[in-house]
Amino acid sequence: MNILSTFATLSLLTAFLLPQPIQKSDTSTGDFYLVEKQYEGTNVDGYNLYIPHSCNKDSEAFPVIMFFHGGTSVGGGKVDVVYERNLAKYLKETSGLETEIKQLRLNTFVYIIPHISQGQFYHGTAAYPQIIAEVAAEYNIDVDRVYLTGLSRGGHGTWGVASRIPENFAAVAPLCGGQHGVESYEGFKNLPMWTAHNLADQSVMHAETKGAVEKIELINETPFHHSNKVKEADYQNHRYIFTSGSHPVNNHNAWSEVYTSVEFYKWLLRFERERD
């Protein structure tokens, strides 16, 4: 489903028909919203939303990071459980707000964080264009700069969802995930990607990402730029990056280094969605 057609349909609805936040919390940098809604035919039971205070009707349209949480946050009844860990948790940290990484994360992007009650994110593919369109109808976001990323089960989801509806995203970053949800690697043609996976990961094998990267290289006829660390990647000159961390055995966590590096967010901001 193309986000443009979805947005056109939803924009005809009156505001009271759109899902309304059932919870709002304010911080010094932005507002957090919680929307609980079951999306028909999917396992998506709502989403969390972060809107910087600087995002308003008079500002430039804000880019969006859509984040898919890991498996420990899956389950019905608590959509905001995602804030207990990883990228979503970083958004609520109040220390060091003056640092470059915090400024980039908190004042540069709107965040949409869907929650799944069971299964895999790619079982809910139909929900994500709807959610983006709902947020666009209420807030000043740039639908041409929606970036998809996720870790572990969310990494599976990023691979699977991006392969099925790539036209909705400007760039993607699947982290330490498997590719069992990929329907066709053709969906990744010309779609900028930064993927990361630790060499010694025993939870999801590094070979999962390596094999996918090789297939995408063939489709694009372009090699990925390889790095051992996020900060070593030449993010300014490459659309396709593969970071293979040399961490101790069975270290599944390839995400902390990515989500705490300014290079990653600056790389995202290079890209807009390509139109036919």
What pLDDT score was predicted for residue 16? 36
What pLDDT score was predicted for residue 14? 31
Q: Which residues of the chain have pLDDT under 70?
A: 1-23, 26, 276
- And the tokens for 260? 């705490």
What pLDDT score was predicted for residue 275? 73
Question: Within 13 A of 23's CA, how many CA atoms are on the CB side?
Answer: 13
187 within 8 A of 161, measured Cβ to Cβ: no
What pLDDT score was predicted for residue 27? 72
Output the CA torsion 7→8→12→13 (10° steps). -20
148 within 8 A of 113, measured Cβ to Cβ: no
What gap in Å lies between CA 184 and CA 258, rounded to an integer?
A: 26
Helices 3-10 and 127-138 cross at an angle (nearest 10°) of: 50
What pLDDT score was predicted for residue 25? 73
What pLDDT score was predicted for residue 15? 37
257: closest CA among 210, 174, 189, 196? 196
What pLDDT score was predicted for residue 274? 81
Q: Give phi and psi for 248, each to the nearest 5.
A: -60, 165
Task: Determine what percent of the chain falls in helix, strand and coil, rounding each to the nearest 5.
Answer: 35, 20, 40
What gap in Å lies between CA 68 and CA 12, rounded to an integer?
A: 28
- And the tokens for 130? 């709807």
Question: Within 13 A of 52's CA, how many CA atoms are on the CB side?
Answer: 22
193: closest CA among 159, 228, 142, 154? 159
The β-bridge partners of 36 are 46
What gap in Å lies between CA 111 and CA 269, rounded to an integer?
A: 14
Question: pLDDT of 71-118, one tens digit each?
Answer: 999 997 799 999 999 999 999 998 999 999 999 999 999 999 999 999
What pLDDT score was predicted for residue 111? 98
Q: How many CB atoms lie within 10 A of CB 15?
A: 8
